[in-house]
Amino acid sequence: MTKRMNFSYIKLVLAATTAMVSLSAFSQDLIARQAPIDRKLKSVDSLALQKQIRAEQAAYPGLSVYPNWSNEHVQAYRDAIVPDAYQFDLRGFCMPTNNTRITDVFGYRPRRRRMHYGLDVKVYVGDTIRAAFDGKVRIVKNQGRRGYGKYVVIRHDNGLETVYGHLSKQLVEENELVKAGEPIALGGNTGRSTGSHLHFETRFLGIPINPALMFDFEKQDVVADAYTFHKNQWNSGSERHLASGEGLFYKVKRGDTLSRIASRQGISISKLCKLNRITRRTTLRPGQILRCS
């Protein structure tokens, strides 16, 4: 009787062991078969995520650096985190107008005691104004007789924002996607303006950057394929530097010479010429902005 019980017990243990081995083998086989499926699901999720990110970037250019999208104000980023450096790709540009004559430059206006944050380009009422780069229209507004008058703001894929002011007619709507060279408005004389012209600004996170550092209206070309913004050059004292003629830029006064400006800024004439792509024989005009560092 005891032998039979022992034999039955052994059979039971063997059966249980066999079942456990089979279950383990089945589990491993299931895991092995599931692995490729998991990889495929991860691949699908990754592709879907990438597609979603691309769609959001297309819908909101500069999404990686801009904290929000607003249709209200040109300067809408007072609490934004400004990177120490940021490079703008200037390829694929289009000049906003075929006109080449600059009537006012970027910088401090002593007579009016305020900054001028863009370039004024001579255009006539009805002249076509075009988008400088691919992007999305952020603002289409009319300030009446104040400021920009009728104006358009576009945020571009390269991170820049451009402002087009004193327009007679806007041809685009807010949140509309535009391509470089696409007509967006007609030149005019609206707002605080004493004659028909295009007021053209380039900004980054609301910070004004001299368009002349990127656009050469006389040559109808960009200055280079890329422009690098440096935070430490655009601190709160930048307006004071422009006004006093110290630091990054200098506004030419009547009677100034290259040697006098170079001496005042503490640099050589050759470096001053190289920074501004001019020669020692270049005639300086009052109001012209020269880069000094």
- Predicted pLDDT at 32: 53
**pLDDT, tens digit, for every residue of 142-169?**
998 888 999 999 999 999 999 999 999 9
Q: According to CATH, what is the number of the domain 245-293?
A: 3.10.350.10
- Predicted pLDDT at 232: 76
**pLDDT, tens digit, for every residue of 218-231?**
899 998 999 999 88
**pLDDT, tens digit, for every residue of 197-209?**
999 999 999 999 9
**pLDDT, tens digit, for every residue of 11-44?**
555 555 555 555 455 555 555 555 555 555 555 6
Q: C-alpha angle with apex 203: 200 to 205, nearest 5 degrees?
A: 155
**Bridge partner residues of 165 (DSSP):** 199
Give the CA-trace dihedral at 18, 24, 30, 34, to 10 degrees: -170
C-alpha 30/C-alpha 20 separation (Å) is 15
Residue 240 predicted with pLDDT over 60: no
C-alpha 277/C-alpha 233 separation (Å) is 20
Query: What homologous superfamily does CATH list for 62-233?
Result: Glucose Permease (Domain IIA) (2.70.70.10)
**pLDDT, tens digit, for every residue of 74-111?**
988 877 889 999 999 999 999 999 999 999 888 876 66
**Bridge partner residues of 151 (DSSP):** 141
Asked if 156 contacts 132 with a C-beta cutoff of 8 angstroms, the reply is yes
**pLDDT, tens digit, for every residue of 171-195?**
999 999 999 999 999 999 999 898 9
Asked if 130 contacts 172 with a C-beta cutoff of 8 angstroms, the reply is no
- Predicted pLDDT at 165: 97
Residue 55 predicted with pLDDT over 70: no
- Predicted pLDDT at 29: 56
Q: What is the mean pLDDT of the chain?
A: 81
- HSE-CB of 262 using CA atoms within 13 angstroms: 14
User: For the ranges 97-106, 227-236, 245-254, which has the lowest average pLDDT?
Assistant: 245-254
Give the start-end residues of each E strand in the chain: 85-89, 102-104, 107-109, 114-116, 119-122, 128-130, 135-142, 150-156, 161-170, 177-178, 183-187, 197-204, 207-209, 215-216, 221-222, 226-230, 249-251, 289-291
